[in-house]
Structure 1
Amino acid sequence: MEIRQLKYFLMLCKELHFSEAAFKLGISQPTLSQQIRVLEGEIGVPLFDRIGKKTVKTEAGELLEHYALQVIQDLENAKKAISDLIDLNKGHLRIAILPSDLDYRLTEILIDFRKEFPNTKVQVFPTIECLKKVLGNEVDIGIGLKVEAEPHLERIPFYTERYSLFVNENHDLSQRKNIKPEELVDVPLVMYPQGKCGRDLVDKWCARQGITINSVMETGSATSLFQLVQKDIGATIQPSQLIENFQSLGIRSIPIENAPTRELDIFYRNDKYLSKAAEGFMKRVIERF
């Protein structure tokens, strides 16, 4: 059994269509069919059933897929470990991060990371599906809201953050030391649209407080929200630490009593090799927050 055959087999498992799988592998359909027959001959049982135009995995195919994925992952882990041993500065790091304010705060971390790992290519994917991308091996690290335990997942809780009310420095509330939840009802707000993680977190908190906020304008960008606050279009409810980035705009942060909070995790697959670059990046995230 060859690694090449396992890769052919796994592509067919994914596509369940010989023509599509062959196209994505860059080989001819007869070549793929022949290699699958060789593999089935070696295993001793059919791996796929051909029902008309449909291709479905047999029970043996399902079982082999499970172990083949482990074999390919172990091989990739070995390659990355050896690459790290030879040259710590080379590699490719893919990061999924909760969009809006979290990806906005990565800039300083990325600058510091680049100084130590100048030849490591970094790709940052803002997405609300961080966990799905990590478990699907589409990225190496996920950074986002607290996730539930998974068999193949390592999670590192690294920050618990309270939310505050942000207002223009000339706003009527700008000198307040704190604000009660019920007072927010009368404050015109600029917020993320419903469906965004940050907005949903605030809405759920409002429901628990028995209040409804007044959103007069909505946008999906943290920068645009704070620009609207700067122009006194409205106030906004956002993670407290963001004041470090926007205080220069003439914006004040007011603590909210019994404020909304969020727990943040870094997570990655525990069966996947974690490069020195990935470890270095995670260390910087933890230190920064």
Structure 2
Amino acid sequence: MELRHLEYFLMLSKELHFTKAAEKLGISQPTLSHQIKMLEKEIGYSLFNRVGKKVELTKIGEIVQQEALNIQGSILSISSQITALSNVEIGELKIAVLPGEITDLVSTLCIQFNQLYPNIKVIIETTDQVEKAVLQNQADFGIDFHLTPNDLLQVTKLYDEDFYLISNQRNKEQNVSFSSVLDYPLILFPSMHQCRKLLNKASNEVGKPLEPIVETSSIRSILNLVRHGVGRSIVSRTLYDFYETEDLFFQHIEKPSLSRAVYLIMKKDCFINYAAREYIKLLVREIEKLHFHTEKDAINSLNSYVL
């Protein structure tokens, strides 16, 4: 079995279309078909079900796909280790994050990271499938809120964060019930954002509709609208602390209280390149500086893991 056969197989398993896969590989469709048939002959089983121009993985094909991804990951790991040893401050860092406010945290830290390591290229992949991106070596690590147990992943809880009701006027009460929050004119992220999904769920629990007067994906726009008294907003502490909010006021939300855990995800037993190690160290320092609710044992374990 040759490595190019696995490369061809993985591209076809991704595209599930011979012509599209061949184009991306830079070979002809008959050549791709011939190479796949050779691989199937060597394995002794069909890897794809062919229905006209469409194809789908067989059960055997799914097994081969996972093992081929592991082999590809090992090859990438070898390349990463050689690069890290030869020139530690030149390379590429790939981070997978959920769409929404967590992207702001990662992007903001990139400013500091770039000042320290201007020759390292940073790629932030926004995806709903952070774990998949890490498992398929599309990211060095990911930051996620929702986890599915997986023995192939190294998962570390970074911190717990609360959500605040923010406004341009000081309120004597430090806490406010979520039900009463819904009575205010609200400026919120669209429904696709993770923060908004949490709010939608909470509104269903209290039996009151969530009807914002403004929806926008821009945190800066949200903060400016709140400053000018257009309405109030609900934001995560991450965003509140990372932006200039000294002129705004916040209240803790209760009944129910709104909070979530933030996790860092890496592939188990996988080499962590220099860029990823340095970024993770920077991230941990920032979290500790902001006094988030962290689990010290988890953070200490992560520090020892990336050193």
TM score, norm. by length of structure 1: 0.84
3-state SS of the aligned residue for 2:213?
strand
Whole-angstrom CA distance in 2 between matches of 1:251 and 1:112: 25
1:166 aligns with 2:162: no
Whole-angstrom CA distance in 1 between matches of 2:216 and 2:68: 45
Whole-angstrom CA distance in 2 between matches of 1:55 and 1:243: 48
Report the CA distance between 1:163 and its aligned residue.
1.1
Name the structure 1 match of 2:189.
Answer: 192
Match of 2:266 among 263, 268, 279: 268
Name the structure 2 match of 1:130.
Answer: 130
Structure 2 residue identity aligned to 1:276: Y
Name the structure 2 match of 1:154.
Answer: 154
Q: Is the 8 Å Cα contact of residues 93 and 120 (structure 1) preserved in structure 2?
A: yes
Q: Is the 8 Å Cα contact of residues 153 and 267 (structure 1) preserved in structure 2?
A: yes
Name the structure 1 match of 2:275.
Answer: 277
Name the structure 2 match of 1:251.
Answer: 248
3-state SS of the aligned residue for 1:7?
helix
3-state SS of the aligned residue for 1:137?
coil
Q: Is the 8 Å Cα contact of residues 166 and 250 (structure 2) preserved in structure 1?
A: yes
Whole-angstrom CA distance in 2 between matches of 1:60 and 1:219: 46
Whole-angstrom CA distance in 1 between matches of 2:61 and 2:171: 67
Name the structure 1 match of 2:215.
Answer: 218
Q: Is the 8 Å Cα contact of residues 109 and 285 (structure 1) preserved in structure 2?
A: yes
Alignment map for 1:1-289 (pairs within 5 Å): 1-43=1-43, 47=47, 55=55, 61-168=61-168, 171=169, 174-181=170-177, 182-213=179-210, 215-244=212-241, 245-248=243-246, 250-258=247-255, 259-270=257-268, 272-289=270-287
Sequence identity (%): 33
Q: Which moved more, 1:56-65 or 1:174-183?
A: 56-65
Q: Structure 2: give runs of 5+ residues left out of the alignment.
A: 288-307
3-state SS of the aligned residue for 1:247?
coil
Report the CA distance between 1:16 and its aligned residue.
4.1
Greater radius of gyration (CA): 1
Report the CA distance between 1:41 and its aligned residue.
4.9
Whole-angstrom CA distance in 1 between matches of 2:154 and 2:70: 17
3-state SS of the aligned residue for 2:212?
strand
3-state SS of the aligned residue for 1:220?
coil
Structure 2 residue identity aligned to 1:216: I
Q: Structure 1: give runs of 5+ residues left out of the alignment.
A: none
Q: Is the 8 Å Cα contact of residues 160 and 261 (structure 1) preserved in structure 2?
A: yes
Q: Is the 8 Å Cα contact of residues 97 and 130 (structure 2) preserved in structure 1?
A: yes
Report the CA distance between 1:187 and its aligned residue.
1.9
Whole-angstrom CA distance in 2 between matches of 1:108 and 1:222: 13
Whole-angstrom CA distance in 1 between matches of 2:206 and 2:59: 52
Report the CA distance between 1:219 and its aligned residue.
1.5
3-state SS of the aligned residue for 1:156?
strand
- Gap change, CA 1:287 and 1:32, over 3 Å in 2: same
Report the CA distance between 1:93 and its aligned residue.
1.2
- Gap change, CA 1:81 and 1:211, over 3 Å in 2: same
Structure 2 residue identity aligned to 1:266: L
Report the CA distance between 1:269 and its aligned residue.
2.4
Structure 1 residue identity aligned to 2:79: K
- Gap change, CA 1:52 and 1:242, over 3 Å in 2: closer
Whole-angstrom CA distance in 1 between matches of 2:78 and 2:285: 29
Structure 2 residue identity aligned to 1:225: I
Q: Find runs of 4+ consecutive structure 1 residues off by over 6 angstroms.
A: none
Structure 2 residue identity aligned to 1:242: L
TM score, norm. by length of structure 2: 0.80
- Gap change, CA 1:222 and 1:38, over 3 Å in 2: same
Report the CA distance between 1:178 and its aligned residue.
1.5
Q: Which moved more, 1:224-233 or 1:113-122?
A: 113-122
Whole-angstrom CA distance in 2 between matches of 1:23 and 1:73: 23
Structure 2 residue identity aligned to 1:176: K
Report the CA distance between 1:49 and its aligned residue.
6.1
Q: Is the 8 Å Cα contact of residues 184 and 213 (structure 1) preserved in structure 2?
A: no
- Gap change, CA 1:47 and 1:98, over 3 Å in 2: closer
